[in-house]
Chains A and B, each alone.
Chain A
């Protein structure tokens, strides 16, 4: 039978963003693929060279619009490595809570977008409803719904408000029950299981060598997580364990495993937040003034030439990394070069190749299960 190339994207529900997947098909079977990225390349790396270290944070928020807090944190840890800053412990706890709330919101966004891919439109409405709880919480911290500009070099912008802890705990406890509801709905749905099981196999070693990180690798059976392997923040002091799945075949983890691992990760984030809010130094119902030494330490504004900072951060889609070289314009006030490693930039070409051999109708399920985000991919 004749083979032909068809183009999915840039406007296609499967893409979850703006990119093109070119698929070579033989009848219904995918025989070759090619990913084309770069539609929303904004040049954040170049812009950063003319901004000082505080001004870069909002750009990093906008790298990924569903997971702004983790990206800003990721940048801040690299800047702190460069500027040699130590952060007060209370600020680390607040960052941890904020990042895990963001992880819940991001995974809910993923599940909400993944549901319609599979044919469950109800899921979208449920997930958006629950995501709103976490956006409200993050709004209390950062002041806006999606782009917070919350972490600062050496601390956080402002302390948690009075009463935040009670609202946080109430919402997390409610959400833990909601996760059970999701699982009751999805794990007994024939459509869900038929579309996900046995589709999109990916092996652990293959993924690591291809640069895939995060939940997608943990679905293949190893509990490797940057939060313990390259520790930062106070993750060793709070109660959690990395979510990990058992792959169902010698061919590795399928789409269903990747869905399971993210559900488990949401449970672990809830567990972590509930524990962290109790252990927070200085008490959960105190509010320190902006710039107080409990939440903000002094930080230099200039980095010398030759200095470099690096952060390895468990973002919601895998390891996000920043590499900053000091000594730029303004006698070191700007970075000389800032480089961003986006987990999805490396994952999307890999996923495109894993689709080979499956049917065209499986493409949305496979692509969606890896949680693509194009904002961070194109930078």
Chain B
């Protein structure tokens, strides 16, 4: 029969992680809360918000004290109207996975319901809001999680967020000869039919009027 991490296990582990983070980093500007997903199973995860200057210390502590061993994804978002403190945001998603190296010809079969303590798989969401300027930048965690390497390359390539200390940064999805400073997921780049109504009312563009209509005799 199939198995799963129960909501009790999951919530208890999330609260344990949150209280440890609070104990270690409370009062430094790092906030931490236990959130629940809003779909059917309502599983819990840990959401951490940190200013960029504390991120390297927090990252090292997460990796080596809390056992967060897997960097899943990094998302950069551009908020041109987000106010002075939140013009950009970097969202990291980490997973804690109970995985160790196995000796030859052995295997480790976890029974989900009997996992305890730090062995319970847990999801971490780290949000780093950045000031509203033209040079967003956060410290790189490439040397803590190898998996963050290409995620950071992608985030820089598409969104234009600098990762200080990232070695061998280069374009990965855009062409290598893209113009410097071109990062397509920034909000000033519009794609065709970006206006919602225009897309529906006039999908093929037949009704669209020339930009200078009314001014030309």
Contact = CB atoms under 8 A, between A and B. Distances in A.
A252 B41 contact: no
Interface stretch (A107-115, A166-174, A207-215, A282-290): A207-215
A244 B102 CA distance: 12
Contact of B146 (A210, A237, A241): A210
Contacts, number: 197
B98 interface: yes
A46 B191 contact: yes
A222 interface: yes
Nearest to B125: A310
Contact of B107 (A210, A222, A229): A222
B196 A239 contact: no
A224 B121 contact: yes
Contact of A81 (B3, B37, B102): B37
B1 interface: yes
13 contacts: A38-B172, A41-B173, A47-B191, A211-B147, A221-B101, A223-B110, A232-B39, A246-B104, A249-B104, A310-B45, A330-B196, A341-B72, A346-B150
A337 interface: yes
Nearest to A236: B4
Contacts of A87: 39-40
Interface residues of A, number: 78
Given A244-B107, A337-B77, A349-B150, A38 B121 contact: no
Contact of B99 (A37, A81, A224, A241): A224
B110 A321 contact: no
Contact of B199 (A45, A50, A229, A272): A50
B84 interface: no
Nearest to A268: B2
A210 B73 contact: no
Nearest to B71: A211
B72 A321 contact: yes
Interface in A247-299: 247-250, 252, 272
State the 6 A-B residue pairs at the shortest beta-carbon distance, nearest first: A211-B147, A221-B102, A341-B73, A330-B196, A229-B121, A231-B4
B41 A231 contact: yes
Contacts of A205: 69, 99-101
B4 A228 contact: yes
Contacts of A230: 5, 43, 95, 121, 123
Nearest to A85: B39
A224 B110 contact: yes
Interface of B: 1-5, 37-41, 43, 45, 69-73, 75, 77, 91, 93, 95, 97-110, 112, 121, 123, 125, 145-151, 154, 158, 171-175, 184-185, 189, 191, 193-197, 199
Interface of A: 37-38, 41, 43, 45-47, 49-50, 52, 77, 80-82, 84-87, 92, 203-205, 208-213, 217, 220-224, 227-232, 235-241, 244-250, 252, 272, 308-310, 312, 319, 321, 323, 325, 329-330, 333-334, 336-337, 339, 341, 345-346, 349-350, 378-379
A81 B45 CA distance: 13
Nearest to B149: A349
A325 B173 contact: no
Given A228-B5, A247-B102, A223 B75 contact: no
A209 B100 CA distance: 11
B1 A239 contact: yes
Contacts of B173: 37-38, 41, 378-379
Given A50-B196, A211-B70, A237 B2 contact: yes
A248 B104 contact: yes
Residue of A49, A230, A232, A379 with most chain B CB atoms under a 10 A cut-off: A230
B172 to A, nearest CB: 6
A241 to B, nearest CB: 8
Contacts of B93: 310, 321, 323, 341
B24 to A, nearest CB: 22
A38 B49 CA distance: 32
Contacts of B2: 227-228, 235-241, 272
A208 B70 contact: yes
Contact of A50 (B5, B102, B148, B193): B193
Nearest to A247: B102
B99 A208 contact: yes
Contacts of A43: 184, 191
B37 A222 contact: no
B39 A203 contact: no
A246 B102 contact: yes
A319 B69 contact: no
B170 to A, nearest CB: 10
B71 to A, nearest CB: 6
A325 B93 CA distance: 14
Given A45-B185, A224-B110, A229 B5 contact: yes
Contact of B40 (A86, A208, A211, A222): A86
A309 B72 CA distance: 15
